């Protein structure tokens, strides 16, 4: 499917964006290995978290949807069953990487794979620490899926200093730590999203400027209730839309405001964005707020690099859009891991920005460009990546003339109703 997006006169209204993808995955994973029935409110019913549900279904975990609630019938730490079929993580890196941590500790072997895009993504980053813990994992020659995670007698606790800032690697090691003898410690230099720590109530301390997260092997998990806030990474698309399209005002309800996720809001504010937070509160251990955004004249001239990158890693595609429309130079560095996402996002962003008429310089770890007036509407390639499709769908609202987003159905990975939400706000 392709979607035509026309220039918006203005955007106005109130919307709720779907539940947080990272928290939705984790709520099912934790629910599956807890004792009792986990109740999840606001679960993201999109392709990626549904892949996590389907993998656990293959491992004998039942679930039930009831209105906006999802119930997961937990099996306890050691109650998962061997699956005679291959687990299919679909397009979801979070599913395969985090579940590998859980599967490494099982008393049975499992094979897990995914779609053509997932098969290209690096798995060495989780294989290395899990093997250090005693796991037995085989992968392709290039350390990609399919992964075969074999039965081992036991795992041992380790101290693991993350060589790259990655919440997926951190979480895989923490989940494996549940099955290890002793206390596993993960040490991170730059903070990455901390939902696993919050949801498992783990000890997290600062030591010599580093963050040290500890988990005790055999820790019994009791089923709980999780409330999933709206995904700030999904809200980001409409925040940028509201800023870009003249005479707009948008209110987005119940957005997750976890400090490890909202670096993009500070950046937009520094560029001059009119963004207000209302009704700030904490639900289920996660800060939440309503966000009101009004069209703003933005100035660019910024370099985003270093420690900031893990915090904004999923928002870089959409952050490049206001930068293109603002006055000044915009540069992203230290973001080489963007090349390992659902698609090579550095290449995809540069390709589409050039179609808008920008002169973009591409680096191994980022890109840079000077903004320009009179950007061109175009045919944008989604590269089958949900965040690329949505970023350039939003860009199109502020371009003159109709644009086309190719293979726009890929938004179903994290935001199945995205194109309808655009229409709801567009005047
Ligand atoms: C995620 C972590 C990030 C992020 C991804 C979701 C998670 O990946 O890009 O969309 O839920 O832990 P990395 O850990 O590879 O940075």
83 and 193 inside one domain: yes
Average pLDDT over residues 195-214: 97
389 and 310 inside one domain: yes
Has residue 370 got a pLDDT over 90? yes
314 is catalytic: yes
Q: Among 93, 236, 341, which residue has the most ligand 1 atoms within 8 Å of its CB, making it the best to mutate?
A: 93
Has residue 300 got a pLDDT over 80? no
Q: Which of the listed residues 208, 227, 246 is the one where a domain comes to its end?
A: 227
Within 168-285, strands assigned E span 180-181, 183-188, 203-207, 210-216, 225-227, 249-256, 274-283
Strand bridging mode 35-41 / 3-5: unpaired
145 and 78 inside one domain: yes
**Which of 181-190, 194-203, 298-307, 406-415 is the least confident region?**
298-307
Give yes or no for residue 193 CB within 6 A of ligand 1. Answer: yes
CA–CA gap between residue 107 and residue 80 (Å, rounded)? 9
Has residue 24 got a pLDDT over 80? yes
107 and 31 inside one domain: yes
Give yes or no for residue 94 CB within 6 A of ligand 1. Answer: yes
Share of the chain above pLDDT 90, in %: 97
Chain centroid to Cα 291, Å, comes to 20
Sheet containing 110-113: order of strands: 87-88, 110-113, 147-150, 136-138
307 and 369 inside one domain: yes
223 and 234 inside one domain: no
Has residue 299 got a pLDDT over 90? no
Please tell me whether the peptide bond between 348 and the residue prior to it is cis, using omega within 30 degrees of 0. no
Give yes or no for residue 95 CB within 6 A of ligand 1. Answer: no
Helix axes 21-32, 47-58, angle to 10 degrees: 10
Burial class (CB in 10 A: 0-12, 13-18, 19+), 350: buried
Chain centroid to Cα 179, Å, comes to 25
Average pLDDT over residues 107-120: 98
CA–CA gap between residue 248 and residue 71 (Å, rounded)? 39
Helix axes 345-355, 316-325, angle to 10 degrees: 20
- What ligand 1 atom has the least distance to the C-alpha of 310? 16
Give yes or no for residue 387 CB within 6 A of ligand 1. Answer: no
Residue whose C-alpha is closest to residue 22's, from 260, 242, 276: 260
Per-chain mean pLDDT for the chain: 97
Average pLDDT over residues 273-302: 95
Say which residues have a Cβ less than 8 Å from residue 190's Cβ, sequence separation at least 6. Answer: 165, 306, 307, 309, 310
127-147 tens-digit pLDDT: 999 999 999 999 999 999 999
99 and 197 inside one domain: yes
Provide the pLDDT for residue 407: 98
Find the 348 Cα to ligand 1 centroid distance in Å.
18
The pLDDT-based confidence of 373 (bands split at 50, 70, 90) is: confident
- What ligand 1 atom has the least distance to the C-alpha of 98? 12
The pLDDT-based confidence of 318 (bands split at 50, 70, 90) is: very high
The pLDDT-based confidence of 44 (bands split at 50, 70, 90) is: very high
- What ligand 1 atom has the least distance to the C-alpha of 340? 15
Find the 258 Cα to ligand 1 centroid distance in Å.
14
User: How many domains does one find in the chain?
Assistant: 2
Say which residues have a Cβ less than 8 Å from residue 420's Cβ, sequence separation at least 6. Answer: none
Residue whose C-alpha is closest to residue 128's, from 113, 112, 139: 139
Provide the pLDDT for residue 284: 86
200 and 54 inside one domain: yes
Q: Among 19, 20, 21, 22, which residue has the most ligand 1 atoms within 8 Å of its CB, making it the best to mutate?
A: 22
Both tokens of 151, joined, read 């039965």
Q: Which of the listed residues 175, 196, 227 is the one where a domain comes to its end?
A: 227
Find the 64 Cα to ligand 1 centroid distance in Å.
26
- CATH, residue 211: 3.65.10.10
Has residue 164 got a pLDDT over 80? yes
Active-site pick, 48, 314, 337, 385: 314
Q: Among 165, 168, 172, which residue has the most ligand 1 atoms within 8 Å of its CB, making it the best to mutate?
A: 168
Residue 179 pairs in a beta bridge with: none
1-14 tens-digit pLDDT: 999 999 999 999 99
211 and 277 inside one domain: no
Find the 165 Cα to ligand 1 centroid distance in Å.
10
167 within 8 A of 192, measured Cβ to Cβ:
yes
Residue 155 pairs in a beta bridge with: 180
- What ligand 1 atom has the least distance to the C-alpha of 26? 11
- What ligand 1 atom has the least distance to the C-alpha of 341? 9
Strand bridging mode 110-113 / 87-88: parallel
203 and 268 inside one domain: no
Q: Which of the listed residues 227, 245, 260 is the one where a domain comes to its end?
A: 227
Has residue 266 got a pLDDT over 90? yes
Has residue 27 got a pLDDT over 90? yes
Provide the pLDDT for residue 301: 84
- If you take atom 11 of ligand 1, which residue's CA is the nearest one? 22
189 and 274 inside one domain: no
Boundaries of domain holding 282: 3-19+229-426
139 and 282 inside one domain: no
301 within 8 A of 371, measured Cβ to Cβ:
no
């Amino acid at each position: 499917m392709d979607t035509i997006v026309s220039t918006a006169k203005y955007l106005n209204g109130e919307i709720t964006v779907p539940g947080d993808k990272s928290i939705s995955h984790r709520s099912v994973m934790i629910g599956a290995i807890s004792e009792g029935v986990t109740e999840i409110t606001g679960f993201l019913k999109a392709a990626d978290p549904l892949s996590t549900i389907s993998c656990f279904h293959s491992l004998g975990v039942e679930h039930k949807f009831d209105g906006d609630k999802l119930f997961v019938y937990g099996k306890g730490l050691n109650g998962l069953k061997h699956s005679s079929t291959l687990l299919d993580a679909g397009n979801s890196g979070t599913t395969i990487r985090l579940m590998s941590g859980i599967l490494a500790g099982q008393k049975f072997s499992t094979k897990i794979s995914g779609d053509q895009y997932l098969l290209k993504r690096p798995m060495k980053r989780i294989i290395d620490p899990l093997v250090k813990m005693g796991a037995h994992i085989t992968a392709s020659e290039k350390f990609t899926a399919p992964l075969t995670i074999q039965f081992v007698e036991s795992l041992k606790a380790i101290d693991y200093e993350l060589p790259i800032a990655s919440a997926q690697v951190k979480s895989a090691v923490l989940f494996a730590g549940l099955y290890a003898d002793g206390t596993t410690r993960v040490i991170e230099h730059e903070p990455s999203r901390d939902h696993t720590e919050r949801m498992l109530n783990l000890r997290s301390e600062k030591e010599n400027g580093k963050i040290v997260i500890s988990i005790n092997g055999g820790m019994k998990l009791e089923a709980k209730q999780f409330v999933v806030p709206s995904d700030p990474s999904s809200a980001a698309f409409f925040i940028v839309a509201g800023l870009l399209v003249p005479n707009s005002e948008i209110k987005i309800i119940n957005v997750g405001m976890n400090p490890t996720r909202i670096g993009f809001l500070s950046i937009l504010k520094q560029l001059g964005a009119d963004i207000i937070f209302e009704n700030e509160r904490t639900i289920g251990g996660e800060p939440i707020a309503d966000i009101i955004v009004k069209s703003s004249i933005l100035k660019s001239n910024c370099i985003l690099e270093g420690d900031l990158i893990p915090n904004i890693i999923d928002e870089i595609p959409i952050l490049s859009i206001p930068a293109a429309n603002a006055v000044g130079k915009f540069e992203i560095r230290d973001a080489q891991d963007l090349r390992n996402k659902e698609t090579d996002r550095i290449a995809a962003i540069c390709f589409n920005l050039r179609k808008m008429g920008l002169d973009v310089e591409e680096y191994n770890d980022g890109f840079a460009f000077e903004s320009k007036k009179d950007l061109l509407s175009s045919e944008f390639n989604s590269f089958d990546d949900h965040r690329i499709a949505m970023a350039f769908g939003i860009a199109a609202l502020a371009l003159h003339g109709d644009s086309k987003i190719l293979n726009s159905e890929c938004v179903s990975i994290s935001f199945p109703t995205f194109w309808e939400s655009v229409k709801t706000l567009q005047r």
